[in-house]
Structure 1
Amino acid sequence: MESSKKYFAEALGTFALVLFGCGAATIASVSQSGPEGIGLLGISLAFGFSLMVMVYAIGPISGCHINPAVSIAMMAAKKLSLKETIGYVLSQCTGATLAAAILYVIAIGSDGFVMPEWGLASNGWGDGYLGEYNIISAAITEFVFTFLFLLVIFGTTAKIASPLMAGLAIGISLTLIHMVAIPITGTSVNPARSLGPALFSGGEALRQLWLFILIPIAGGLFAALVRNLFLED
């Protein structure tokens, strides 16, 4: 498969993930269904379902990483070259930024719209952010859940695993992660997903972005280490 096709698929998949997931949190969380909108469960399902359908849509082309932490972990596990990893990460960040741009254009179409702190479903922590958890809780959450997420991905994409079930298992795992982690950090486990909204939100979202880049990558690398040492297929 040509690298350009893989990169386009990764950009498209990340675009869809951010548009559906962050769109659900930004727009559908406050809707005609009431002040709570679709709620935490609905947002969790939006992220999980969007990943699941993209696994089946672009998985045969690029593997559907749509997450820099996944691509870097795959490189550490010797499943992806350095050149491809760089291309994947750049494509993922581009797709996430384009999706955030579209969400921003849609959001400002509402009368009286003012970009809130941590707008467009940006990730964050501390005073004023959702459950107001501290930085230690945020770092532990992002590390542990990214670690578990990557273990699911490694397991369901192993040579002896059933490829037909991979998308379902990976999508459900992301849903479960969001159901727990949304009140803490808004749930990142994906640096590209955090980057796009933060660029348009600015403020605290942009200042806190470093954690949602470094910690998920660290969690993914730890999963690759555990996989290489104990779970090699």
Structure 2
Amino acid sequence: MAKDEEAGVEFQAKDYQDPPPAPLVDVEELGQWSFYRAIIAEFIATLLFLYITVLTVIGYKSQIDANNGGDECGGVGILGIAWAFGGMIFILVYCTAGISGGHINPAVTFGLFLARKVSLVRAVMYMAAQCLGAVCGCGLVKAFQEAYYTRYGGGANELADGYSKGTGLAAEIIGTCVLVYTVFSATDPKRNARDSHVPVLAPLPIGFAVFMVHLATIPITGTGINPARSFGAAVIYGKDKAWDDQWMFWVGPFIGAAIAALYHQYVLRAGAGKGLGSYRSSSVI
């Protein structure tokens, strides 16, 4: 294998072969400690994610509440809330990627399942752990901020006034598609083999994707793009509006995840496969 030059930079070419797809049902996983360790990691990560982010949302609303002596121009603002969500995803994906893959989101798990990156058993158990972690995380917020929790909406996702359900659903589809597309691109091992001279810290672009989507869609739906996040907040908050709109925060993210998975696997990866083939043929002497 020889060294190639591209744009004046030398790098070592790497060969790569796709790993086999995950089995649909892998019963052997149930007997492995690493499987249960990954489930625990997803539970704890989602719990911490909801605890920090929902506290941020409630704290911001209390800071701008004029009836509570707040300043309408104060608080962290939408920018701060977006940073809380994006920053926590960056931290938690970085911490758990080597254990569970750092999904922390049923939509991400669903997209990876469609791409045959995880088995059905693992996908179902991850989603259950994520939803339970989200409920527990919001429960901690309510326990610590019970006086403010219900008054300021409990961090629950709801469709904002003035927007149709179709607009809210579209916002969730597009937002989740951006996130899951970023997950696939940032963690693609074929890309890492081909572009080994360009180091990529996967949690960083994933966190930025969450940050950017929140900036765009907080005014519309409060930004779900994570069914566990919306479910956990709705369970603890328990008001009708949060439950009436709950379907939107499951259907939208799952459709968005499916679109991202199909686009990456059957459009981008098909082209990447040809490009890698020509790259390898030109780099071998």
Would you say the 8 A contact 2:107–2:257 is kept in 1?
yes
Deviation at 1:29, TM superposition (A): 4.1
Deviation at 1:231, TM superposition (A): 1.6
Q: Which residue of 2 aligns with 1:174?
A: 210
Q: Where in structure 2 are there 5+ consecutive unaligned residues?
A: 1-32, 65-69, 193-197, 273-285
Q: Which residue of 2 aligns with 1:48?
A: 86
SS of the counterpart of 2:220? helix
Any residues of structure 2 matched to 1:113-124 within 5 Å, and which? 113=148, 115-116=150-151, 119-124=153-158
Deviation at 1:193, TM superposition (A): 0.4
2:227 is the alignment partner of 1:191 = yes
Number of corresponding residues: 225
2:142 is the alignment partner of 1:104 = yes
For residues 164-211 of structure 1, the C-alpha deviation after alignment (integer angstroms, 9 at most, x for no partner) is 511111101100000110000000000000001111222210121111
Q: Which residue of 2 aligns with 1:218?
A: 255
Q: Which residue of 1 aligns with 2:54?
A: 22
> Structure 2 CA distance, aligned partners of 1:125 and 1:6?
33
SS of the counterpart of 1:120? helix
Any residues of structure 2 matched to 1:1-233 within 5 Å, and which? 2-31=34-63, 34-35=71-72, 36-108=74-146, 110=147, 113=148, 115-116=150-151, 119-127=153-161, 132-159=162-189, 160-161=191-192, 164-202=200-238, 203-232=240-269
> Structure 1 CA distance, aligned partners of 2:244 and 2:168?
14
Would you say the 8 A contact 2:160–2:219 is kept in 1?
no
> Structure 2 CA distance, aligned partners of 1:231 and 1:120?
40
Q: Where in structure 1 are there 5+ consecutive unaligned residues?
A: none
SS of the counterpart of 1:65? coil
Would you say the 8 A contact 1:10–1:65 is kept in 2?
yes
Q: 1:56 to 1:116 in 2, by over 3 A?
A: same
Q: 1:107 to 1:66 in 2, by over 3 A?
A: same
Would you say the 8 A contact 1:146–1:216 is kept in 2?
yes
1:24 is aligned with what amino acid? T
Q: 1:144 to 1:158 in 2, by over 3 A?
A: same
> Structure 2 CA distance, aligned partners of 1:126 and 1:56?
32
1:182 is aligned with what amino acid? I
Would you say the 8 A contact 1:29–1:43 is kept in 2?
no
Would you say the 8 A contact 2:141–2:149 is kept in 1?
no
> Structure 2 CA distance, aligned partners of 1:205 and 1:163?
42
Percent same amino acid at aligned positions?
30
SS of the counterpart of 2:102? coil
Q: Which shows bigger deviation, 132-141 or 169-178?
A: 132-141
Q: Give the structure-2-normalised TM-score.
A: 0.75
Larger Rg: 2
2:100 is aligned with what amino acid? S
For residues 1-49 of structure 1, the C-alpha deviation after alignment (integer angstroms, 9 at most, x for no partner) is 6111000111111112111112111124433984441110000000000
SS of the counterpart of 2:142? helix
> Structure 1 CA distance, aligned partners of 2:52 and 2:61?
12
Q: 1:106 to 1:152 in 2, by over 3 A?
A: same
Task: Please report the RMSD computed on the Cα atoms of aligned residues, expressed in angstroms.
Answer: 1.9
SS of the counterpart of 1:31? helix
> Structure 1 CA distance, aligned partners of 2:149 and 2:137?
19
SS of the counterpart of 2:92? helix
